[in-house]
Structure formats: C-alpha cells, structure tokens
Amino acid sequence: MKSRIEKDSLGEVKVPADKLWGAQTQRSLENFKIGREVLPIEVVHALALIKKAAAITNREIGILPEELSRSIIAAADEVIAGKWDDQFPLSVWQTGSGTQSNMNVNEVIANLAIKASGGVLGSKTPVHPNDHVNMSQSSNDVFPSAMHIAAVLDIKRHLIPALRMLRNAFDEKSKAFDDIVKIGRTHLMDATPLTLGQEFSGYVSQLDHAQWWIEQSLEHLYELALGGTAVGTGINAPKGYGERVAAVIAELTGEPFISAPNKFEALSASDAIAGTSGALCRLASALMKIANDIRWMASGPRCGIGELKLPENEPGSSIMPGKVNPTQSEAMTMVSVKVIGNDTAVRIASSQGNFQLNVFRPMMIYTLLQSVQLLSSAMVNFTEKCVVGIEPDRERINSLLQKSLMLATALNKEIGYDKASQIVRHAHTHGTTLKEAALTLGLLDEKRFDEIVDPKKMIR
C-alpha cells in the first residue's frame, strides 16, 4: 500500500496515500483498535457544519482571509453532503473529549481544500487544519456542540415524525373502537368495564406526553458551547464569537441554536445530553407498556385473552405448525429495554464531568443517537407492521365481558358493598352468573338486576 508522510507535534506518521486524513487521525487508528463502534456519521456531519459556520464567522470578524474561508466552506459542504463518509473511520473508544474526531474533520477538510487548490496533501498549505479550519475553536467546545447539533437534527428529522405516526395510528384505532365495551383489568385481574377505544386513548396520551418531554429537552440542546474554547473562558476566540457562530449555525440548520449562556457548564457538564436521554427513556418505558398490553390482549389464539387480532407477519415456530407470534411487540420491547439501558450508561457518563471537562463524550453521543435511531425505526415498524392492522375480536371481547364478576361493582349503590361481595363470592364458588347468584340469595329481582348491571351504563 502506498503511503505519504504527514507530521504532527509528535513527529512523522505514515498515512495511506489514498486517504484524506492526516497524522492525528492515523495515530488514533493505530492507538485505539477497540471494538467495532465508530463515531456516528451524524456527528461528523455536525462537526463539518461547525467548521463551515466557523469559516463564515471568522471571515466576517476579519481574522480569516476570504479565499481561505471559501475553500474551507466548499470542503465542509462536501463532507456535510456525505461525499467523504469513508474518510471518518475513528472508533468511539478514543479520547473522551472527541479531540481525535475533531482533528479527523479538520484534517480531511484541510486536505480537500488543499487538493482543490492544486496543493500537496498533508502540506498544510494553503489551508492548515489547526490554524485555519479549527480557528477560534477547541475540541472542548466543538465536540459537545456537535453532539447537540447531531442530536437535535436526528430527533427533529426522524424521531418526532415517527412518534407522531404511531400516535396518530393509535388515535385512529381509539376512535374506531370507541363503541366496543370490554372488561378492564387491574393487577392482571378482572376489573370494571371500559371501551377498547378508551384503552387505546391512554396510549395516545402517553405518546403525547412523551413527545412533550422530548421537545422540552431540546431547549437545553439548543445551547452551544462554541466560544468557550478550552475551559470556558474563551481564550483564543474573538469577543462575541460564540454568539455569532451560533447564529450562523441556526441559520444553516433552521433550528434555534444559541450560544450557551454559561460556557463553564457547557464544557464541564453534559446535563443536556443526559436530559434528552432521560426523555427517550420515558418514551421507551411508555412503548414497553403499550407493546406488552397489545401482545397480552392478542394472546391465544384459543387459550389466551384473545381480544385483539394482530397482523400475521411470519411463521412463529420451527416445530409447532401454524404458530404465529406477536413479533412486532417483541421487537419493540427489546428496543425499549436497550434504550432504558442506554440511558443508564449516559447518566453515569454525564456524572463524570470532572472539573472543566467531561471526557466520556464520544460514548455518550454514540449511545444517545443509537437510542434515537432505534426508537425512530422501531416506531415506524410497529406502526406499519402491527398497529394499523389491529382488529378487535368482538365476539371474544363480549364473551369475556359477560363472564366478569366485576360487573357487580354497579350494585354497590343499590345494595351496598358487602351484599354485592356476597353475590360475587356465591357466583364464583358455584360457577353461576351474577344474576343467578343475586336471585338465589334473594338480594335483587331479575328486572332490577338487569336495570343496574348494564356494562354500557358503567362507562363514562
């Protein structure tokens, strides 16, 4: 393999001749051969977006020549567009500040600009990865800002639309099933009636609240650490740089990014990422409950609850003929467990912001974006492959409703709790209906029983 020699502060490094990265990226590749996890490309694109915004801002301030600014912007645009995704191979398991990934982007953009100008790769002229591409920046303020940008864009572009799709599918089912009276269940035991539509409306409300919490968490993510440089004091950044570069990023993305009001918090802590992870964990918990309810209500087909009929996606057993399983619910619950576990990892990492810098950041953003992407795709899949095809088994629902002893709750106001309990115990012990028990005990006549014990009258 042909190579070229690049240099950094530690000396010379051989870099494959066909690669656009430089010495620091190559060192990282050689020093961190850990796992298969690479930095998410969304973070790389966010880093390139920051380089573009920095080139614009530094030019406007008057510290970066027009020609160099244009070269950096053009190269950054190519990276943002995904043309050079294969030039960003670094492991998540690297320096905890993300310095090597920041330099990976600096080196690639510099070499792209050099190449476009007819220069020699690795020469650092006319565009230098540190002096020009990283001007007014430190990895310590760039990487957390890229984390915020990547998280916001992924959530707004993918997670929220997927969440709304699922929410709306449940809302349609809630309205369609509003006339179906069924038995409720608490403690996994029979309870008083409700409609299937009311039950599904609870899922709609859960998802609405989950969306609200996620959107609230974005308010902190909109704050960018840029301008804080190394420890939050802004050394080597022009006065007002943080506010100006954040405004450029807001314009480029269409999202309301602002300069973090306290750069010391923005560098040393990762509470914004932890907060968003917590909101995703809340969504995962809701999805776990919903998916479990769906598969329990569909259990059977003959020996379970069997109130719902789910789409049959595929055969369910390699040994039991004709078996079909609630696989979409199972996939959703596995995703939920993973996201809940991811939140634990993010929260522990967030607690490790010692003094002026958190050094768990590549792992945190990898984990957060994994949660976003898992939830987004799982919700789309669950909607399309399960929820839209859910049908009620009206006959089964009514059969279970009529058998329930908890309909006796309606008798409380007429004969009191104790006598209603006598009817329930007698019916259960002797295997009779509530009506038969009431008549046998002489507590009500048939006409009055029928007037009171009407499931439809027990629903508001």
φ, ψ dihedrals at 263, nearest 5° = -70, -25
Tell me if residue 158 is catalytic.
Answer: no
Give me the pLDDT at residue 45, please.
Answer: 99
Which residue intervals of the chain bear CATH 1.20.200.10?
A: 141-225+262-395
Question: Which pLDDT tens digit goes with each residue over 113-172?
Answer: 999 999 999 999 999 999 999 999 999 999 999 999 999 999 999 999 999 999 999 999
Which residue intervals of the chain bear CATH 1.10.40.30?
A: 404-458
Tell me if residue 317 is catalytic.
Answer: yes
* 406-434: burial string, b at 16+ Cβ within 10 Å, e else: bbbbbbeeebeeebbebbbebbeeeeebb
Question: Which pLDDT tens digit goes with each residue over 13-69?
Answer: 999 999 999 999 999 999 999 999 999 999 999 999 999 999 999 999 999 999 999
Give me the pLDDT at residue 317, please.
Answer: 75
- What's at 419, amino acid-wise? K
Rounded CA-CA distance 262/224 in Å is: 10
Give me the pLDDT at residue 314, please.
Answer: 79
Q: With respect to CATH, is domain 141-225+262-395 assigned 1.10.340.30?
A: no
Give me the pLDDT at residue 316, please.
Answer: 77
φ, ψ dihedrals at 191, nearest 5° = -135, -165
Residues of the chain with pLDDT under 50: none
Give me the pLDDT at residue 325, please.
Answer: 85
Rounded CA-CA distance 21/275 in Å is: 34
- Catalytic site residue from 317, 399, 421, 428: 317
CATH number of the domain at 404-458, please?
A: 1.10.40.30
Give me the pLDDT at residue 249, please.
Answer: 99
Which residue intervals of the chain bear CATH 1.10.275.10?
A: 3-135
Rounded CA-CA distance 99/307 in Å is: 55
CATH superfamily entry for domain 3-135: Fumarase/aspartase (N-terminal domain) (1.10.275.10)
